Structure 1
Amino acid sequence: MDNFHEETKYVLQNNDQAAAAKLAKEHLENLDKVPLTIAVTGETGSGKSTFVNALRGLKNSDEGAAPTGAVETTMEPTEYLHPDYPNVKIWDLPGMGTIKFTADKYLKKMEFEKFDFFIIVSADRFSENDAKLAREIQNLEKKFYFVRSKIDHNIIDEKRDKKEFNEEETLKRIRDDCIQGLEQLEIKSPKVFLVSGKDLNLFDADDLWKLLEQELPEHKREVLLLALPNISLDVINRKKQALKDKIQLYALASAIGAAVLIPGISIAVDLAIITKFVTECQKSLGLRAESLKRLSEATGVSMEELKAEIKSPLTGVKITTELVIGVLRGCIFVGGLMAAEEGARFVPFIGTPVAMGLSAFSTYLALKYLLKSLGDDAQRVFAKAMGLTDAVSD
């Protein structure tokens, strides 16, 4: 990332717009390929497979979901691709204490070196096996996090059994108990998060993602954020900002077409780039048709009610260049700039640099406009599904 910024700064200082545009295009292509490999492990019945499915935005009953059950269903390390981000791989690892994988063979069998970080899941207090696993991960200088799953079940039980119930105090007591138990097993400053695998929008899940964003390398941080299911309005806002930060790259890359003195090529390149960005926004913000359907099924809010919150014609449909053109026709400022760009390219001597600048600027304005409309849709839809108010913010 730092090398890219330095190279871009250098070529721009030398007024080499074509080189800067080429660098931006290559950098975007590289970002699409950044791998993120997550390991989820825990003892039998801990809820790790449910957690794996939740990370992928799936329910246990969905096609392609990791199998779940009361007995150990993961007997071999199993890779699951994210349905929208194939570069994100989530591994469901068998528990360290299973019969097939004894402790002395576990680490070698699981190939720990290939994972970016580990999530150790338990439905109850963490065990000696969990602590031993954490120490081995630490020896490899990898990050690990403890997730206490099925917290929703604990809350239901506490409400039923106690006359005076305080959810915040109950959560603190469970968290402190987990931390103390791990410290007794010689884990220093354990990071424990209380999570419901079936409802990632509840409890400590958002705190876990924020910490991961802080501790992962920058290029992997963005991959995790954009692939994460929408679990809160804050996550949606962070996604919007990450996508907004990429707009300059897309805009700069669009200047490549303006350097080609063939009528229509520049606008065709611009539209292809805009379509790609809109598709990425739709995918990350949970606005594809299948994503909306999963949200409806998970929350019980009908598709009709969710669709009533949608204002952008780019939400919940397949993105095509023709559709993007139709939406941009309503943006006079973008259309005017594109027309000016096409004309400027054929002015002798100064035409190409001016056209490249206009191409980048018109694409930049178009992307900002489209991201704003899609981001607002994502907030409204999520708020409706979760029964929230005042969802849309800049």
Structure 2
Amino acid sequence: MPGFGTTKFPMKDYVSKMEFTTYEFFIIISNDRFTENDAKAAKEIASMKKKFYFVRSQIDIDFPVFTNQGIDVDRMRELDKLKQEIGSGLMEAGISEPIIFLISSLYLNEFDFSRLKKTLLKSLDGIKKDVLLMSLPSTTVKIVEPKRAQLKKRVWMWAIFSGAVGAVPVPGLSVAVDLGILVAAIIDFRKSLGLDDASLQRLANVSMKPVEFLKAEVRTPLVGEINEEFVKQMLLRSSIVAVSAVEMALNFIPIIGSVFGAVSSFGMTYKLLTDALDELVDNAQRLVKVAFATDPGHPQ
């Protein structure tokens, strides 16, 4: 949202104009000191029984020495001291027990970024939590594991859809749809786990490792070009292909063909996507460990 307390967005009209009631939670960000207007906004949010968090950004500028050192007593002491100072100022302004995070957008694996991500995830449920989780960069193993659990739910969704199509007694329809499902799902899994080219480049920037080095650690053909021909080769290497052949033969038999088609399509899609997800997760976890192998302060 735009900043408040300006002539264009005066504080007296800000809450109603920005429709605060429509939001799940709020992040109040400052790269310097939190102001009286920040405290006023927090009080308005608190009065609506909604959650809010204070985020102090650009910590790397204030404490550049922290970005060149591992976690030690002095570093933690200074960060705790800053957090206490910020908290004291907010409590004096009338905010009880403010929740504060110190972050740097240039160092996603440093400071309070990991704790901030966990806190935001706990603030949501259902599809909103799913969307936020998948949008987070896979910079720790602890982020990859929850993603696996959420993506496993999508495996069930895709498999059920595949089974529904498999029940339709139209020769070749189930196979054609299954191929499309598998292609779309694998590409979705890969992007969600941070194994696509754009995500790998972002990880390289954060970890300060060459992107070619990181790509060399990804040991699965699932990060290459994924199309229907690729999926067909996956099917040919799987014992499930025999079941698909029987499904096509039974398509012409009423009822029996529909039941067998639904079951076999569900099973084929579920098995192949589960195997693909496990393979991609293993690679994502290894990639994170390799990316931050020399960083003793990285939260695995």
Same fold (TM over 0.5): yes
Partner Cα separation in structure 1 for residue 156 and residue 67 of structure 2: 51
Which of 89, 110, 115 is matched with 1:202 structurally? 110
CA spacing shift, 1:341–1:152, aligned 2, 3 Å: farther
TM alignment of 1:195-274, pairs within 5 A: 195-274=103-182
- 2:257 is the counterpart of 1:323: no
- Structure 2 equivalent of residue 32 of structure 1: none
Question: CA shift at 1:193, angstroms?
Answer: 1.4
Partner Cα separation in structure 1 for residue 26 and residue 135 of structure 2: 17
Q: Secondary structure at the match of 1:287?
A: coil
Q: Would you say the 8 A contact 1:158–1:165 is kept in 2?
A: no
Note the residue ranges of structure 2 that are not aligned, 5 or more in a row.
296-300
Q: Would you say the 8 A contact 1:345–1:352 is kept in 2?
A: yes
Partner Cα separation in structure 2 for residue 343 and residue 107 of structure 1: 64
Q: Secondary structure at the match of 1:126?
A: coil
- 2:243 is the counterpart of 1:334: no
Partner Cα separation in structure 2 for residue 356 and residue 388 of structure 1: 50
Q: Would you say the 8 A contact 1:257–1:267 is kept in 2?
A: no
- Structure 1 equivalent of residue 195 of structure 2: 287
Partner Cα separation in structure 1 for residue 48 and residue 7 of structure 2: 25
CA spacing shift, 1:180–1:344, aligned 2, 3 Å: farther
- Structure 2 equivalent of residue 372 of structure 1: 278
CA spacing shift, 1:364–1:159, aligned 2, 3 Å: closer
Question: CA shift at 1:347, angstroms?
Answer: 4.0
- 2:32 is the counterpart of 1:124: yes
Q: Work out which structure has the larger RCO, using CA pairs closer than 8 Å and 6 or more positions apart in sequence.
A: 2
Partner Cα separation in structure 1 for residue 55 and residue 177 of structure 2: 46
CA spacing shift, 1:342–1:247, aligned 2, 3 Å: same
Question: CA shift at 1:157, angstroms?
Answer: 5.1
In the superposition, the TM-score normalised over structure 1's length comes to: 0.67
RMSD: 2.5
CA spacing shift, 1:319–1:138, aligned 2, 3 Å: farther
- Structure 2 equivalent of residue 176 of structure 1: 84
Partner Cα separation in structure 1 for residue 6 and residue 252 of structure 2: 71
CA spacing shift, 1:269–1:185, aligned 2, 3 Å: same
Higher normalized helix content (fraction of residues): 2
- Structure 1 equivalent of residue 261 of structure 2: 355
CA spacing shift, 1:259–1:223, aligned 2, 3 Å: same
Letter in 2 for 1:253: F
Partner Cα separation in structure 2 for residue 126 and residue 206 of structure 1: 22
Which of 92, 96, 101 is matched with 1:188 structurally? 96
Letter in 2 for 1:383: K
